Amino acid sequence: MTQAKEVPEKLEIADWQEAVDLFFQNEWTDGLPIIPPTEDRVAALLSTVSFRDPEEIIGTVPPRWAQATVRICAVNAAMAGCLPEYMPVVLAAVEAVLEPSFNLAGIQATTHSATPLIVVSGPSLKTLGINAGYNVMGQGFRANATIARALRLIMINVGGGRPGTTDLAQFGNPGKFGFLLAENDQASPWEPFRVEHGFNADDTVVAAFSAEGPHSVTNHVATSTFGIGISIASCMSSLGSNNAYGMGEVVVVVGPEHAEFFRKEKWSKDDLRLYLYQKARNSIRDLMFNGRYGRFYNRMWPKWFDRSQDDEQVPVVVKPSDIHIFVAGGPAGRFSAVIPGWGGLGGQSVIKKVRFSTDQLKGGD
């Protein structure tokens, strides 16, 4: 394992190009050019969280276990291209992934493609310019891209998560540059995720999940919720997914056109969860490949699965509440998405409230 490169407190650099090249040479970036974190840029980011001490330690970032202070998070947010007003969301994301139950140490070192997925839910989306509509998990929106990228840069520069040394992912996935999803309240027939989990409707929260890349669910022909539901369940129960064997949590993103079916037929989130829990299953016969490799005892499956019965149906999660449902995206077709998790060893999702300054709250939060 290579020794992590220490970053000096201050660098004197002639121009922007020299700064970008220096950061590449020292592996202080994610493979894309950075914005030089000048004192002015960092100070502007810190000004939006002035109620927090810049030297406050948010936590230690594995696997290097270096301390992530508010200031060093601001430095990486500046490098990512964040505007100052994004800083409270960046800090909430860092706080979420550094909770021990999230198991960031495992995600940083796994051979799997897992990466933190950050979901933002709240009325601050419009004020901050966070996109919850068309191309919600794609390119084109500064807030979405740079907030997520800031977290990845912190994982690299503070945590030391570098490919081939500590980050041993065989393939990785494009979401490792930054993976952010925003909940589309206006298109949803259900109460927002934040309210569902005990926060107020006027709060803004960040939730962190260990995730693969999104898997598209296409269904343009269904005329009822059952048709859409079975398409989602089929995608959830893919034999190539970690969830099929390791269970854990799954994120289901329902597109606005699909969500309208659930609105019209008055399905609650729990109705959909229970349906998916019943339908997103595989037989032990299939999971054991017809016994081709002998029988094995999967410790991540609950004891109440009868492993002696080839027809026993194994759900992809232990309980329905492990299925997290969001409505997001634009009204651009009958699509939804499934975001598989890392499995039972991947830790648990974490939710954190975004802490805004009084001035930001007056500005429209």
Tens of pLDDT along 15-41? 889 999 999 999 999 999 999 999 999
In this structure, the strands spanning 250-254 and 323-327 are parallel
- Does residue 2 lie within any of the structural domains? no
**278 and 331 assigned to the same domain:** yes
The one-character DSSP state at 167 is B
Please tell me whether residues 131 and 88 are part of one structural domain.
yes
Mean pLDDT of 265-283: 97
Give the pLDDT of residue 250.
97
Task: Determine what percent of the chain is predicted with pLDDT higher than 70.
Answer: 96
Instruction: Check residue 7 and give its pLDDT.
Output: 57
C-beta of residue 297 within 8 angstroms of C-beta of residue 176: no
DSSP alpha helix (H) spans, 26-170:
39-47, 70-80, 87-97, 104-109, 124-128, 142-157
Cβ atoms 116, 99 nearer than 8 A: no
Do the beta carbons of residue 182 and residue 119 sit within 8 Å? yes
Total domains in the chain come to 2
The verdict on 187 and 235 lying in the same domain is no
Residue 241 has pLDDT above 60, yes or no: yes
Indicate whether 322 and 357 sit together in one domain: no
Residues 198 and 246 reside in one and the same domain? no
> What single-letter DSSP state applies at residue 33?
-
Tell me, yes or no, whether 361 lies in a domain. yes
Evaluate whether 347 touches 272 at the Cβ level (below 8 Å).
Answer: no
Within-domain flag for 6: no
* 103 closest CA partner among 358, 349, 363, 272: 349
Q: Tell whether 315 is covered by a domain.
A: yes
Beta-sheet pairing, 350-353 with 205-211 = antiparallel
Q: Are residues 31 and 166 in the same domain?
A: yes
pLDDT of residue 292: 82
pLDDT for the residue numbered 361: 61
Closest CA to 157 of 289, 290, 23: 23
Model confidence, pTM: 0.94
Q: Is the dihedral of CA 122, 125, 339, 87 positive or negative?
A: negative
CB 233 within 8 A of CB 275: yes
Residue 4 pLDDT > 50: no
Whether residue 286 sits in one domain with residue 137: no
CA dihedral 256, 258, 261, 267 (to 10 degrees): -90
Phi then psi for 250, rounded to 5 degrees? -135, 140
Residue 322 lies in a domain: yes
Query: What are the φ/ψ torsions at residue 301 (nearest 5 degrees)?
Result: -85, 140
Q: Are 226 and 190 found together in one domain?
A: no
At residue 41, the pLDDT reads 97
Question: What mean pLDDT do residues 185-208 have?
Answer: 98
- Give 292 or 101, the one with higher predicted confidence: 101
- Examine the domain organization and report whether 229 and 335 are in the same domain: yes
Confidence of residue 2 (pLDDT cuts 50, 70, 90): very low
Average pLDDT, the chain: 93
Do 178 and 105 belong to one domain? yes
What angle, rounded to 10 degrees, do the helices at 87-97 and 70-80 form?
120
- What are the pLDDT digits (tens) for 288-343? 888 887 777 777 888 888 888 999 999 999 999 999 999 999 998 999 999 999 98
In a domain, 4, yes or no: no
pLDDT bin (cut points 50, 70, 90) of residue 3 is: very low
Contact 115, 175 (CB under 8 A): yes
The H-or-E segment that residue 121 falls in is strand 115-121
Domain that holds residue 282: 213-341
316 found inside a domain: yes
Domain membership flag for residue 283: yes
Closest of 342, 352, 357, 364 to residue 111, by C-alpha: 342
Do residue 198 and residue 96 come from a single domain? yes
Between the CA atoms of 24, 48, 148 and 331, what dihedral angle is there, to the nearest 10 degrees?
-140
Clarify whether residues 187 and 224 are in a common domain. Answer: no
